[in-house]
Each structure stands twice: as structure tokens, then as C-alpha cells.
Amino acid sequence: MDASIVTAAPHTPAIPIPATDTMTPDTLPAGPTSTQAPDPWHGYPVPAMRWESVYGDRLVRCFSNRPTSLLAMFAQAAAAAPGQQAMVFEGRHWTYAELDRSAAALAASLAAQGLQAGDRVVMLLSNRPEFLQVLLALLRLGAIAVPVGVREQRPGLAYIAGQCGARAMVFDASLADRVPLPDEAPALTLRLSAESLPDLPAGEAVAPHPAAENDTAVILYTSGTTGRPKGAMLTHRNLVHSALHWQACFRLQPGERSALAVPASHVTGLVAVIAAMWRMAGCVVVVPEFKADAFVALLAAERISVTVMVPAMYKLCLMSPALSGADLSAWRIGAYGGAPMPVSTIDELQQRLPTLQALNSYGATETTSPTTLMPAGGTRDHIDSVGAVVPAANVRVMDDDGREVPPGATGELWIAGPMVVPGYWANPQATAEAFTAGYWHSGDLGAVDAQGFVRVFDRKKDMLNRGGFKIYSVEVENTLMSWPGVVEAAVVGKPCPVLGERVHAFVHAPGVVPSAADLRAHCAGQLADYKVPESITFSATPLPRNANGKLMKRLLREQLPV
């Protein structure tokens, strides 16, 4: 494996990606649905689209001029900007040419170990250079990457490896004790630590696999709250369209620099950071662990221009003493998702970092990252919105009987488009239950306003019912997080034999003297009385989240006081 590293100046002028595939302004096709404004992205570099039949029974709008695969997209960047920085890790820098060579060498070595097109390979890798190298090597072989969060334990890994029939696993050496035993995953015949990859015997060069757009490139297992996780099949078509959505809707430029501060193994890190940077011949600055002080210093040192993180990470940056003296003038886009951003945090970001735009996003594993993105300058005017539907997507708001509700009314968000996965790996029942005519049932309650901006109120199962009064937990959580010092808040229903549920809040406010009475009084001044938390648990540690950054309310419900 070629692990060449360069230490040249980290800010080489960007070389444009191929002109034949750059974005050009175009008008969206006529006939928008009732859930989308006529042109929410007017003036943006949205590429031309056409209707295409995909996955057998879907008719979706696709970008007409696009790379044919994720590997082809990377190859375009490597050909156009071979000397441009592709990856940074702890001060070391790889160019696109060097990353391409190291991935090609690794692909040859893995092929010599017997890996071939179609094999599933579990990647139990933390945020480290090997994640990108292994991913590219598997794409080159036509193998299917199965990234898994490093918090997963051996029983979960054994299930995932068995369910997808994984042939191999690449893992951090420190996690070797979690690798399934032979009797737990019989098909798993090749086990390699990341640290051992440079020592693999060299193999003969492997020509890049000619992947079809509908081929599965990645399987991501969803972190469901009940039952076994399901393996969402992310195709090359899905991944390429999402990267193009990030490019067009955030007006990304060649040579952008993005911090990989969220797990690379989940859809935000994989798509919003890695794939989006490959589209732009940009640089992925790999962050092994998020610590606010060190992260702020990294933002300045590496001239980061784009981040995609959860709101709590921005709040922790604002609380860091390092922020005051740091030159963050290059930091232009601060995208966030997974949870609401408190208005107070948005205002403080604007005040202290005037060059930074905080822009909301909304998506899921099944939508290959973004379903909506906030247009530039729209955050304050649409403070309760997760943004506008991305150009090639379609969102419908449906009732429990599968009927579309009137504009502005609340219902479940159903999502379609070229970035929506075809289904779940080897799980036709789950696929049939979750998809209707190409629309994925999100499980989120929301609405779309007259301007085409989407509001997400709650998960269907997280809406509280207190004596007949419906309470959206997100409204209460936003109010809790507007109290000074609160970093995280989660609201769940506490069972009550009389009212059905009462409002209970979990709050993480480091450095603040807990006062349930004061916090309840704060809420009472802004919320209807039945929405005010009747009990509060102050947590000294961050609230539990999955690797996608979403609060794990199931675990919180298990901690409810009696």
C-alpha cells in the first residue's frame, strides 16, 4: 500500500473540476408539486434535469449531466486537480494524485486476498485516513462498503456481518476484540486491522470496476429504535445526486475545505463531507475526535470553509475560549442538522462569526443525506424551517390513511427523488413497509409552507399526548435550549395513569447551577401551561446520541424517574 504523504503548503490554488460536468444555471422542470415552491432555488447553479425511470418502478427527476459513479466523481477530481490537497490528518497532507495511488495499491492488495466485485466489506474504522483509502479501494474493486460506527459492539457487528453476508472486515486495531468470531459470522473469512494494511503483499494492478449507476456502492445500517437495524442500499446514483445537491444548493466552489468532525461511517460524514469534497476537488480535513478548543484551532490552521455538524458542536465552539483569538475568516458555511439550532446560538454565531452562515439541513440515511437545505440568507426569516426541498427531490405530506393533506397542514413527510435508496438489503418486507411508489415514509411529522419551506415538528412516535393536548417535543426543546448555558435538551413523555403522559425534560447544561424551578419559569413565560416540563433531569454528561447525531430517546425513556 502506497502511503505517500506530502507536507507542501496546504492551500494550493484550486484547479477547476472538468468543465463538461460543472453546474450551470437552469430552470426547474414545469409542474412543481403542491409541496414545493415554483422555484425555491432561483439564481442557484442548479443543473438541468430530466425524468428517468429507475429501480424498475420509479419515475424521478435526475440531473442530466453527472458522473456515473462515486469513483468516477473522485477520478474527475484527481484528473483535474492531481496536486490539490485531498486529505489532511493531524498535520499530514495527501494530494489527489497520492490518495489515488494509495487507493489503487490497496485495491490490488485486497484483490490478491480474494476480494472481488459484489463482496460486502464491513468498515469498523474511526475517523482516520484509512477510512477514505479503504473506501476508494473498495469502489475500485466494485466491492460494497459497509461502514459501521465504532461504538457498535460485537453482537451488533455479528448481526450486520451476517445479515449482509460480509466477506471481509477492516477495523481499528484497538477494536479487535469486537470483531465477530468465526462461528458468529461464518462468511467473514478476511479480517484486517487498519494498521496491517501497509504490510499486505502487493498485488497486480486492478482496473477500476465499471459500476452501473443503480449498483449498490454502500450499505448503511439504520439506527432504528425498535427491532434489528436495516441495511439501506446507497447506490452510485444516490451518492452522486446528493453530492451535486450539496454543490448546487450551497454554491460550493472548487477547492473547498471541509472538516470531517462527524463520524465518517454515517451518512452525514460520508456524503455531506467526503462525497461533496470529492465533487469539488476539495479537501477532507479528518478530525479523529471533536474537542472544541482543538477543533477551533484546526478551523483556523487549515482554513476550513465548510462544516456539517450537529448544533451542540457549534454551541461548544462558541463556549470555547479559543474562539476569541482565532482567525476563522475562511469559515463560510456552517451547516447543521439532526436537531434544532436554538435561535440564541444562531444569533451568537452571527455576532461573533459574521462571515459564517448557519444553514439548516434535513435528511436521513434513506435519503442519502439532504432532503432539504436552507438557501443562503434564509435562516433568520425561516427560523422554524429545515430549509427548502432540494431541486431533484419531492416531498409530500400525508395523513395516516395515505392521503395528501392540504398545504400547510401537518402530516408524515414522504420523500422521493434520485437520492432516495431503492430499499433495504435482503429485507423485502421492510422495503415494502417503508416505501410507496418510490416515496420513503420518513416517520417525521411536518408541514410545507406556501413558499416551499419544510417544517419538521417531531417523530410520529415522539409526539406527546397530555390529556388530549398534543405536544411537539421539539417546541419544548427549543425553549429549553434558549435558557443560558443549556447545550442539549430532550423531552419525552412520562407515563401517567390519569393524563396518559406528562412532560419530562433531560437537560445538559455544563457549568450551570441546576435549578428546575428557574428553568420551568423560563418555559412558562413562552409556552402554554400544558407544555411546560413538570419534571426535569439535569445530566452532567452529554445526552445519548447515535452516530448520526440524533438523540436516542429510547435510552432516555429507560432513565425516567419513577
- From 420, 454, 488, the end of a domain falls on 454
User: Are residues 426 and 470 part of one domain?
Assistant: no
Q: Is 22 domain-assigned?
A: no
Q: Which positions of the chain have pLDDT values less than 70?
A: 1-38, 223-227, 339, 547-549
Q: Cell numbers for 36, please give them.
A: 414545493
Please indicate, yes or no, whether residues 267 and 388 belong to a single structural domain of this protein. yes
DSSP at 536? E
Is 187 part of a structural domain of the chain? yes
360 and 426 share one domain: yes
pLDDT at 214: 98
Q: 427 lies in a domain?
A: yes
Is residue 227, in this structure, part of any structural domain at all? yes
What are residue 465's DSSP bridge partners?
470
Q: Are residues 471 and 444 in the same domain?
A: no
CB distance 274 to 284 below 8 Å = yes
Do 495 and 401 share a domain, yes or no?
no
Same domain, 390 and 482: no
Cβ neighbours of 449 (radius 10 Å): 15
Residue 17's pLDDT is what? 52
pLDDT digits (tens, 9 = 90+) for 282-335: 999 999 999 999 999 999 999 999 999 988 899 999 999 999 999 999 999 999
Residues 113 and 241 in one domain: yes
Residues 482 and 448 in one domain: no
Choose the final residue of a domain: 431, 454, 477: 454
pLDDT digits (tens, 9 = 90+) for 194-221: 999 999 999 999 999 999 999 999 999 9
Q: Are residues 535 and 436 in the same domain?
A: no
Q: How far, in Å, CA of 496 to CA of 502, rounded?
A: 6
Q: Given strand 190-193, what is the order of strands in its sheet?
A: 190-193, 168-171, 120-124, 144-147, 216-221, 231-235
Residues 425 and 305 in one domain: yes
CATH number of the domain within which 535 lies? 3.30.300.30
- CA-nearest of 430, 459, 418, 426 to 442 is 459
For residue 93, give the 3-state DSSP assignment. strand
Residue 124, domain member (yes or no):
yes
- The span from the CA of 254 to the CA of 472, in Å, is 41
CB distance 342 to 311 below 8 Å: yes
Residue 418 structural domain: 27-454
Does 15 fall in a domain? no
Q: Are 108 and 206 in contact (CB under 8 A)?
A: yes
Neighbours of 72 (CB within 10 A): 18
Kindly state the cell numbers that stand for 498: 390519569
**Pair 467, 450 in one domain:** no
Assess if residue 16 is contained within a domain. Answer: no
Facing residues of 551 across strands?
A: 545
Among 421, 454, 487, where does a domain finish? 454
- As for how many domains the chain has, the answer is 2
- Asked whether residue 103 is assigned to any structural domain, the reply reads yes
> In this structure, are 404 and 513 located in the same domain?
no
CATH of the domain at 155: 3.40.50.12780
User: What pLDDT is attached to residue 499?
Assistant: 80
